[in-house]
Structures are given as structure tokens and as C-alpha cells.
Amino acid sequence: MTSAHLPGCQPALTTTVRADRVLLRRFTPDDGEGLHASLSRPEAVRFEPYGVQTRAQCDALAATRAHDPSFWAVCRGSDGALVGTLYLHHDDPHEWRGYTLGYVFHPDHWHQGYATEACRALLDVCFGLWGAHRVSAHCDPRNDASWRLLERLGLRREGHVRQAASFSTDDAGRPVWHDAYLYAVLDSEWDRPEG
């Protein structure tokens, strides 16, 4: 794994992270088509706070993400195809050195190890060069693939939060609540677990 940055630089200055089979790079305004390939699939956004996205919405998202250092395009190294998105946000207060991890991958690329490889590479940079103290992630308990990925990465389940979020409403307009698992890993624990 290599990245185009200097030790101790701020996350916004890091532009690429390379791993064996994937390249993580900043989004460009031209990534709308690649985003749409994923975010137009109901199974890809089932546990996200938004529904299926149109091509116009994905074009707007690509333009916005091109200016947001929290978002990373995950591209297959062999052909540059956009296979997923990573989100790694530097939380406030910054001096606590905490980050929040998230991801969405194209369903055609599930179960091929791209998410594991991409997350590991970005977490290596986050802990090794950005000086993170703690990285956390939330996922819906029904999303087995998501929490299994977090466990493969070495994150520990710290909690099961009841009725933590609502991304939709019922026919009467009331929130439909769902639970969330909280996962985290500390800098002292990060050692690139195998898996």
C-alpha cells in the first residue's frame, strides 16, 4: 500500500491510496456515472439514509464529493472501474483524533474482498500517518455483511443502540426506527488483522 502524501499531512492533502487490487482516490465531478451504477441499485442503498438515486442526483453527488475530503472513490486497479465509496470523516473536536468510517459498494463487486482491502488500506493511512486515535462505525444489525466486514477489519462491537435512527416513515408519517451496532478500533489496537 502506498499513498501520495507526506507523513503528518492533513487528510485533505492525501489524494490517493493504493492497495493490491484497488486504488482509492478523490472523487471528480465526472464520477456521476460510476456512482449511479451503484446507487441506482436498491440492494446497495437498502441500509443507507437515502433511497435509489437518479443519474442527475449522482452527478450532483459526484460534484459535491469532489470537494469533500471525507469521500473516497474505490476503483478496481485492473481497469479503473468505480466499485465502491468509502467515507472517512474527521470528527469534532479534531484534537480528539476520532474518525467515522462508512462504505457503499456496487453489488456486482460484493464478496470479492474489495471492501476489506480498501478499508484496510485507508485505515492504515488514517492510523499510521494521520495520527488517528479512534475510528468508529455504525451499521444496521440486519446488515450482516456490514458488521462482518467491520469484525474482519478488527473493529470491536461496543454497543447495540436501540431505535437509533429513522430513514423512513410509515403510512401515518411516523418514523420507522431501527437499531444500530456501534463498532470501533483504537490506534493501540490497529495491527492490520488478516482475513
Q: With bands split at pLDDT 50, 70 and 90, how would you rate the model's confidence at 191?
A: confident
* Residue 54 domain flag: yes
* Residue 140 domain flag: yes
CATH number of domain containing 18? 3.40.630.30
Question: Mind listing the pLDDT tens digit for each residue in 14-73?
Answer: 789 999 999 999 999 999 999 999 999 999 999 998 899 999 999 999 999 999 999 999
* Residue 194 domain flag: no
Question: Shortest CA distance to 135 belongs to which of 155, 149, 116, 165?
Answer: 155
* Residue 193 domain flag: no
CA 185, 73, 58, 11: dihedral to nearest 10 degrees? 60
C-alpha span between 151 and 158 (Å, rounded): 11
Q: Indicate the number of domains in the chain.
A: 1
* Residue 191 domain flag: no
Give the pLDDT mean for 164-190: 92
Give the pLDDT mean for 94-122: 96
C-alpha span between 155 and 39 (Å, rounded): 26
* Residue 175 domain flag: yes
**Edge-first strand listing for the sheet containing 16-18:** 2-3, 16-18, 22-25, 71-76, 82-90, 98-105, 134-139, 175-186, 156-169
Return the residue matching grid coordinates 438515486: 53
Distance of CA 78 to the CA centre of its chain: 21
* Residue 165 domain flag: yes
Question: Mind listing the pLDDT tens digit for each residue in 119-161?
Answer: 999 999 999 999 999 999 999 999 999 999 999 999 999 999 9
Question: Shortest CA distance to 189 belongs to which of 163, 156, 150, 159?
Answer: 156
Return the residue matching grid coordinates 481497469: 79
C-alpha span between 83 and 108 (Å, rounded): 8
Between residues 8 and 98, which one has the greater pLDDT?
Answer: 98
* pLDDT at res. 85: 97
Give the pLDDT mean for 170-176: 90
Helix (H) or strand (E) holding 182: strand 175-186
Domain residues for the domain of 104 are: 2-186
Q: With bands split at pLDDT 50, 70 and 90, how would you rate the model's confidence at 83?
A: very high
* Residue 192 domain flag: no
